[in-house]
Amino acid sequence: MAGLMEYLDMGGYARYVWPSYALVVAFIVVNIFAARSALKRARVEAKRRLAMKGPEGNAP
C-alpha cells in the first residue's frame, strides 16, 4: 500500500503529472465521441434528405 501511495505521489509531482494524463485521456474520449456522433448525425441527415426525395431520388 505504501508502495502504491509512493508511486501515485510521483516523487512530489503528482499534481502536475496526473492532471496531464487525465487531460489527454479526456481529449481522446471526447474526440472519439465527437467523431462518432458527427457520422451518426450525417447519416440521419442523409436518410432524412433521401426520404424527402422519394424512392427514385426525385424531389417531389
Partner 1 sequence: MAWTWFHRLGSPPYIYNLAARLTPWFGWLAAAFIAYGLIGGLIISPADYQQGEGYRIIYVHVPTAWMSMQVYMVMAIASAVGLIWRIKVAHAVAACCGGMGASFTVCALATGSLWGAPMWGTYWEWDPRIIFELVLLFQFLGYMGLRAAIDDPQRADRISGLLAVVGVVNIPIIHYSVEWWNSLHQTASVMKLGKPSMPVDMLLPLLSMFLGYSLLFGALLLIRLRAQLLSRERSASWIREVVSA
Least Å distance between CB 29 and partner 1? Answer: 11
Q: Which of 13, 32, 14 is nearest to 24 (CA)?
A: 32
Nearer to partner 1, 2 or 16 (CB): 16
How far apart (Å, rounded) are the C-alpha atoms in residues 22 and 15?
Answer: 11
The H or E element that residue 32 is part of is: helix 14-53
> Nearer to partner 1 by C-beta: 1 or 50?
50
Binding site for partner 1 (CB under 8 A): 10-13, 16-17, 19-21, 23-24, 27-28, 30-32, 34-36, 38-39, 41-43, 45-47, 49-50, 57
